Amino acid sequence: MKHEVKEAGASVVVAFEGDIDLQTSPAAREALLEAVGMGKPVVVDLAAVSYIDSSGVASLVEALQTAKKGGQDLTLAAVSEGAMRVLKLARLDAVFTIHDRVDDAV
Amino acid sequence: MSETPEPQETEASPPRNVIEVRDLVTHYGDRMILKGISMDVHADEIMVIMGGSGSGKSTLLRHLMALEHHTSGTMRILGQDIDELNNVELVDLRQKLGVAFQGGALFSSMTVGENVMLPLFEHTKLDRKTMEIMTRMKLQVVELGGFENLMPSELSGGMIKRAAFARAIVMDPKILFCDEPSAGLDPVVASQLDDLILLLRDALGMTVVVVTHELESAFKIADRITVLDRGEILFIGTPDELRASDNQRIQNLLNRVAEDDTMDAETYLNRLTGDEPAYRPL
């Protein structure tokens, strides 16, 4: 898994690439919490994520809750079909704000 | 881009067959239990294994879960020949397999949440917060959201089965094994569990292997059915093909007709006197 953090307008975009699974989700979690720590709205770009397991989704949930406690937004963008299935199964599609494209979110 | 090291992947691209069994022979003591089983389990399918008592279906399930040694034959699980794996590789493989045991097998001294979280504690180094969220998510999936602080003794039979499913899927296994999931449940609760198995396959893309003797359940969930009879495969095919079979033993199974005990007199005498080996775990 790779990830990239960049600022876009007033937001911070965290773009992941590859699989987010039991092995890689700790790094994803760290990246997400660091981005939230920057104090700006966070957009998580999942366009290049081929697979995300429940540990990856749990990291997203924790980051969302941390952001909300700090009065920040954390939104998802370009969620793949597989990732969306996992989110829906856990009924998280109603918890996250999900945009089709990153440009719609920033 | 900062990069996290790619995990060591032991199997190549996912095989079409997630399980391949060829000429599997196994014994308990001197007694041959499985007599040359050959079968495949396809990715993303629900394979139901049926058979009467003593047919060998539970033994086959334990072998498919890589829990027992076989006498001869080969078995590949997720592309790996289990005879070629060392203990570390075997443990790694088993982490990709989820098991929902017949009785639930929850630890009575632990809360429901602790039971579900247990595999994560044992096999991962995830942050505690991540594990807690994963546990609550899986409890939500099996419709036990908010029940994590209850003790197993406070759950109904159906809820215990659901909690067992939550534990079985907490690590997102590639293959989920279910041993008699409907046993002991009323028809409504049993049907709900069938729906849950279908949901897990459809939503999470899991391959599911179910051992059951519940015909209604088998026909509802199975993509394919394997029928075992006295350690041999009697049938592998779709539910419709099974219904259409004119094999008398299959018709007996479908019509719940008790099989005649065809043990000959000498074998029976030998068994009574102990000259015929009894079942004995390895």
Into how many domains does chain B fold?
1
Q: Count how many Cα atoms sit within 13 Å of the Cα of residue B218 in the half-sphere of its side chain.
A: 25
Mean pLDDT of B201-221: 89
> Which CATH number fits the domain that encloses residue A86?
3.30.750.24
Cα–Cα distance for residue pair B175/B37, rounded to 1 Å:
20
pLDDT value, residue A88: 84
B12 pLDDT higher than 70: no
Dihedral sign from CA coordinates of A66, A68, A69, A71: positive
Who among B138, B199, B205 is closest to A54 (CB)?
B138
A58 with B134: Cβ contact below 8 A: yes
pLDDT value, residue B268: 67
B39 pLDDT higher than 70: yes
B4 vs A contacts (CB less than 8 Å)? 1-3, 24, 27
B130 with A22: Cβ contact below 8 A: no
pLDDT value, residue B157: 85
pLDDT value, residue B189: 83
Q: Is the separation of the CB atoms in B214 and A104 below 8 Å?
A: no
Who among B127, B133, B172 is closest to A53 (CB)?
B172
**A34 interfacial to chain B (CB closer than 8 Å):** no
If you measure CA to CA, which chain B residue comes closest to A51?
B204
Strands A42-52 and B17-28: unpaired
Rg (CA), chain B: 20
A16 pLDDT higher than 50: yes
B64 pLDDT higher than 50: yes
Q: How buried is residue A48: exposed, middle or buried, by Cβ count under 10 Å (0-12/13-18/19+)?
A: middle
Q: Is the separation of the CB atoms in B71 and B34 below 8 Å?
A: no
For chain B, give the percent of residues with pLDDT over 70: 86
pLDDT in tens, B119-170: 999 989 999 999 999 999 999 888 888 899 999 999 988 899 889 989 999 9
pLDDT value, residue B280: 43
Mean pLDDT of B95-105: 83
Into how many domains does chain A fold?
1
B141 vs A contacts (CB less than 8 Å)? 89-90
pLDDT value, residue B282: 35
Which element (helix H / strand E) includes B271? helix B265-273
Least Cα distance to B24 among B38, B13, B11, B12 occurs for B38
Q: Is the separation of the CB atoms in B61 and B178 below 8 Å?
A: no
Average pLDDT along chain A: 91
Which amino acid appears at position B273 of this protein? T
B52 pLDDT higher than 60: yes
B259 pLDDT higher than 70: no
pLDDT value, residue B13: 53
Backbone angles phi, psi at B3, to 5 degrees: -130, 135
Higher pLDDT, B79 or B103: B79
Residue B9's pLDDT band, with cuts at 50, 70 and 90, is: very low
Cα–Cα distance for residue pair B258/B135, rounded to 1 Å:
43
pLDDT in tens, A63-77: 999 999 999 999 999
B267 lies in some domain: no
B206 vs A contacts (CB less than 8 Å)? none
- The lowest-confidence range among A69-83, B12-26, B194-208 is B12-26
pLDDT value, residue A42: 96
pLDDT value, residue B7: 46
Q: Give how far A38 is from chain B: nearest CA, Å.
A: 18
The strand ranges marked E within B130-223 are 175-179, 207-211
CB pairs under 8 A between A and B: 72
Cα–Cα distance for residue pair B226/B47, rounded to 1 Å:
7
A17 vs B contacts (CB less than 8 Å)? 1
- Residue A97 tokens, joined: 């704000």
Question: By residue range, what is the domain housing residue A71?
Answer: 2-105
Average pLDDT along chain B: 85
pLDDT value, residue B257: 59
Paired strand residues for A99: A77
B116 lies in some domain: yes
Cα–Cα distance for residue pair B123/A102, rounded to 1 Å:
35
Question: By residue range, what is the domain housing residue B136?
Answer: 106-172
Paired strand residues for B121: none
B258 pLDDT higher than 80: no
Q: First vs last Cα of chain B: how many Å apart?
A: 53
B199 vs A contacts (CB less than 8 Å)? 89
Task: Give B222-240 as a DSSP string.
Answer: -SEEEEEETTEEEEEE-HH
Cα–Cα distance for residue pair B188/B158, rounded to 1 Å:
10
Q: Give how far B64 is from chain A: nearest CA, Å.
A: 24
Who among B7, B130, B140 is closest to A29 (CB)?
B130
B118 lies in some domain: yes
Q: Is the separation of the CB atoms in B40 and B74 below 8 Å?
A: no
Backbone angles phi, psi at A22, to 5 degrees: -60, -35
